[in-house]
């Protein structure tokens, strides 16, 4: 999934000397035929949503893949001239669980559905926190060794409180909504364990321990 950058606002329509054509900088092939009285027809309406409001996909950096964007790339994306605060959360593989030595985590998920749900999550977050300008929600798939990042969420806003609250909302909801599962791999002969999101079974937002079948 490519990183999404904020698009520039589409420039206004430019009327040429010829009465037969209206051209935009974004689409040089648009042609408008004159009506019988010599006036021009209005340009066809577009079904695309405007990209200059905060609740636009161009203001979300969403990625589900075997690599994560760098810290610099995330900070650069979240930076906006009208924002004085950036808040991020990074989830890192720790080396223990319930007294067991963890050597790595392995993540699996259905990428198209995960991306769709992350997009919906960002839209929901914007409704809850309308002053947030940009959001990041990225998650790794595959193996994630101890000490490495597996998930990053973040947001930017004019003031810190909304950015911090939005980031907390993003990670909490991601854990309960997005179809990504992790397997904890233990040191020695102990069985690996899947942690799955059971919301996708019973509509309940909690996580349970499920042992991997041999």
pLDDT, block means (10 residues), the chain with 214 residues: 42 33 30 44 36 66 96 97 97 90 91 95 96 97 95 98 98 92 81 58 46 44
Residue 195 has a pLDDT of 65
The pLDDT value given to residue 56:
65
Q: What is the pLDDT of residue 54?
A: 61
Give the Cα-Cα-Cα angle 139, 121, 47 (nearest 5 degrees).
Answer: 115
């Amino acid at each position: 999934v490519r990183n999404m950058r904020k698009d520039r606002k589409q420039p206004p329509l430019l009327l040429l000397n010829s009465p037969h054509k209206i051209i935009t900088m974004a689409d040089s092939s648009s042609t408008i035929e004159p009506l019988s009285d010599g006036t021009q027809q209005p340009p066809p309406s577009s079904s695309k949503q405007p990209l200059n409001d905060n609740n636009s996909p161009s203001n979300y950096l969403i990625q589900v893949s075997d690599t994560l964007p760098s810290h610099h790339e995330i900070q650069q994306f979240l930076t906006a001239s009208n924002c004085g605060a950036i808040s991020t959360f990074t989830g890192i593989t720790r080396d223990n669980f319930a007294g067991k030595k963890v050597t790595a985590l392995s993540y699996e998920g259905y990428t198209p559905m995960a991306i769709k749900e992350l997009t919906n999550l960002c839209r929901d977050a914007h409704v809850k926190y309308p002053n947030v300008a940009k959001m990041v929600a990225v998650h790794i798939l595959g193996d994630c060794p101890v000490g490495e990042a597996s998930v990053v969420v973040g947001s930017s806003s004019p003031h810190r409180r909304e950015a911090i609250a939005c980031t907390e909302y993003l990670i909490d909801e991601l854990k309960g909504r997005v179809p990504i599962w992790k397997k904890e791999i233990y040191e020695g002969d102990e069985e690996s364990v899947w942690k799955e999101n059971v919301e996708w079974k019973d509509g309940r937002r909690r996580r349970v321990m499920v042992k991997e079948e041999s």
